[in-house]
Amino acid sequence: MEHVVIIGNGVAGITAARHIRKLSDKKITVISAETDFFFSRTALMYIYMGHMKYEHTKPYEDWFWKKNRIDLLRAFVQNIDTQKKELKLDSGTTLAYDKLVLAVGSKPSKFGWPGQDLEAVQGLYSYQDLESMEKYSPTTKRAVIVGGGLIGVEMAEMFLSRGIAVTFLVREDRFWGGVLPKKEGELISRHLKEHHVDLRFNTELKEIIGNENSRAKAIITTNNEEIECQFVGLTAGVSPNVSFMKEGTIDTNRGVLVNEFLETNIPEVYAAGDCAEFHQHPTGRRNLEQVWYTGRIMGETVAQTICGNKTPYKPGMWFNSAKFFDIEYQTYGNVKSELDEGHNEFYWENGNIALHFVYEKVSKKLIGVNSFDMRLRHEIFDKWLTDGKTIEFVLEHLKDANFDTEFYKKHEEEIINKYNIENNTQLKVKKRNWKRIFA
């Protein structure tokens, strides 16, 4: 019986395992050194904050794996011998495979800062990171978080929920300046400050200072300011977890290099999820896509190919979502931090609610939208962007895409009136069409 081994039990690896089982009777082994069972990594913050218990973050009951004949192995892979088709494990034993899926995920990026390997200096990616935060929190009065991204916001909210002060170092002049346009960055910056986050813009980490027990006790910024702290969160992005492969035969760059079928340079070896790096992305997007939904699609895709139905990776329209304390964020399509030539934009804001549309100047075809605290229906915006709808069509039919419940205040009239004034048009909000929504 053909043996498929999957290294990594995150969303990419587990999705691959589940779909291989649906499609075949192959022997499946999933290896992970992190946890015994698959859990929702995005729920780590809620465990820390007391909203959930670890067992609540597991999408499947523990008996699910045995019932579906998916073997789980708690181990760390030290070496991959692609000639012998063998994995060397930290126990000293080896495991043979016929086909191999690398779904080893990411690790927090480090940039050679002095003191970056001290105690209480870490990111927030694994279950072990959560355990470490729990260990150091009782003796932490102030945490310094480095890097203005989504994981940094999660870590800030976690610490503040326990009364721990937070200083946030942001390299740009606004929050998440490499991703969010200026107005959105300012909106989120205001919101973080309202939650008592000490935001330091245009400020980077220079050095971490340790105490006599090799634990962080302060940091020094690039402005030569010393900030006393007992914990340093490194959240300036993540990098593929591929260091153990660098001396092997599998081609790597930042990640494991793959083609559109998620195949590596070695026959019957594949990569999926955060660690997979395309030679050239099938849709022209970034060659590394490290978000939950792309990992899930990669897992489904590689399962098809392994089971004899060779399938290219087709991720569809770019999408991401997150939460900045109380503000829910969604993005569809392509909204860059700076406007491209030939594009125009329309921005509307009311308190913490905002919409930012980007569209082509001439055709008015919608390119992308950012939404803050207004829930949009994923399937509708995905279809509108795929079908090439115009900004004016979208605004007139915005009620169809609004997912907020009947108890939320509606803003469609206000939004379209602002567009009409700015563009000398006379658009009108169309009545919500339930048949069109659920067709």
In a domain, residue 313? The reply is no
**Domain check: are 102 and 243 in the same one?**
yes
Residues 331 and 424 in one domain: yes
DSSP secondary structure letters along 363-417: T-BEEEEEEESS-B-HHHHHHHHHHT-BHHHHHHTHHHHB---TTSPP-HHHHHH
> Pick from 248, 271, 306: which residue ends a domain?
306
> Which alpha helices (DSSP H) does 62-179 contain, by range?
63-67, 127-136, 150-160
Q: Sorting pLDDT into bands at 50, 70 and 90, what band is 402?
A: confident
- Give the structural domain span for 152: 121-236
- Residue 231, beta-bridge partner list: 143
pLDDT at 246 over 60: yes
227 Cβ contact partners less than 8 Å away, ≥ 6 residues apart: 142, 144, 167, 218, 219, 220, 221
Within 10 angstroms of residue 190's Cβ, the number of other Cβ atoms is: 12
Residues constituting the chain: 439
Residue 314 lies in a domain: no
Q: Residue 409: which pLDDT band, with cuts at 50, 70 and 90?
A: confident
* Predicted pLDDT of residue 435: 63
Mean pLDDT of 372-384: 93
pLDDT value at 437 more than 80 = no
- Residue 115 covered by a domain: no
Q: Which of 243, 205, 195 is nearest to 77 (CA)?
A: 243
Cα angle value 339/340/344 (rounded, 5°): 65
In Å, what is the CA distance from 100 to each residue of 69, 107, 188, 243?
A: 17, 21, 42, 17
Predicted confidence (pLDDT) per residue in 77-130, tens digit: 999 999 999 999 999 999 999 999 999 999 988 899 999 999 999 999 999 999
Domain-ending residue, one of 204, 236, 268: 236
Residue 336: inside a domain: yes
Residue 367 lies in a domain: yes
250 and 224, same structural domain?
A: no
Q: 24 in a domain, yes or no? A: yes
Same domain, residue pair 94 and 243: yes
- Check pLDDT > 90 for residue 407: no
- Asked whether residue 429 is domain-assigned, the answer is yes
Distance CA 61, CA 56 (A): 10
Q: What's the half-sphere exposure (Cβ side, CA atoms, 13 Å) at 195? A: 22
Same domain as 167, residue 137: yes
Calpha distance 82→282 (Å, rounded): 27
Same domain flag for 157 and 210: yes
Q: How many domains does the chain have?
A: 3
Q: What is d(CA 216, CA 116) in angstroms, rounded to the nearest whole number?
A: 9
Whether 438 shows a pLDDT value over 60: the answer reads: no
Q: Can you give the pLDDT at residue 439?
A: 57
* pLDDT the model gives residue 432: 73
- Is 311 domain-assigned? no
Mean pLDDT of the chain: 94
Q: Quick one: tokens of 185?
A: 């960055």
Statement: the pTM of the whole predicted model exceeds 0.95: no
SS3 of 135, please?
helix
pLDDT band at residue 143 under the 50/70/90 scheme? very high
Task: State the pLDDT confidence band at 405, using cuts at 50, 70 and 90.
Answer: low
Please count the other Cβ atoms lying within 10 Å of the Cβ belonging to residue 151.
23
Tokens of residue 67, six digits: 């019932």
Burial classification of residue 139, based on how many CB atoms lie within 10 Å of its CB (0-12 exposed, 13-18 middle, 19 or more buried): exposed
Mean pLDDT along residues 149-162: 95
Nearest Cα neighbor of 167 from 151, 154, 178, 156 is 156
If you average pLDDT over residues 228-240, what whole number do you get? Answer: 94
pLDDT at 354: 97
What's the angle, vertex CA 331, arms to CA 326 and CA 333, rounded to 5? 175
Residue 52 has pLDDT above 90, yes or no: yes
| Structural contact between residues 169 and 145, judged by C-beta atoms closer than 8 angstroms | yes
Q: Residue 174 has what pLDDT?
A: 86
Question: Same domain, yes or no, for 192 and 248?
Answer: no
One-letter identity of residue 253 = N
Q: Name the pLDDT band for 254 (thresholds 50, 70, 90).
A: very high
Query: CA neighbours within 13 Å on the CB side: how many for 139?
Result: 9
Domain boundary among 279, 306, 333: 306
- Minimum mean pLDDT among 167-171, 283-287, 333-337, 357-361: which range? 283-287
In this structure, the answer to whether residues 273 and 179 fall within a common structural domain is: no
CA–CA dist 380, 386 (Å, integer): 10
Here the CATH number for the domain that contains residue 204 is 3.50.50.60
- Segment 294-318 mean pLDDT: 96
Please tell me whether residue 134 adopts helix, strand or coil conformation: helix
Examine the domain organization and report whether 155 and 245 are in the same domain: no
Any idea what the CATH number is for the domain that residue 412 is in?
A: 3.30.390
Q: What is the pLDDT of residue 94?
A: 97
Residues 156 and 177 in one domain: yes
User: What confidence tier does 408 reach under pLDDT thresholds 50, 70, 90?
Assistant: low
pLDDT more than 70, % of the chain: 98
Same domain, 327 and 415: yes
First vs last C-alpha separation in the chain: 44
Same domain? For 100 and 139 the reply is: no
Which long-range contacts does 110-118 make (Cβ < 8 Å, 24+ apart)?
110/234, 111/236, 113/205, 113/206, 113/207, 113/208, 114/206, 114/207, 114/208, 115/207, 115/208, 115/209, 115/210, 115/216, 116/208, 116/234, 118/208, 118/210, 118/214, 118/215, 118/216, 118/232
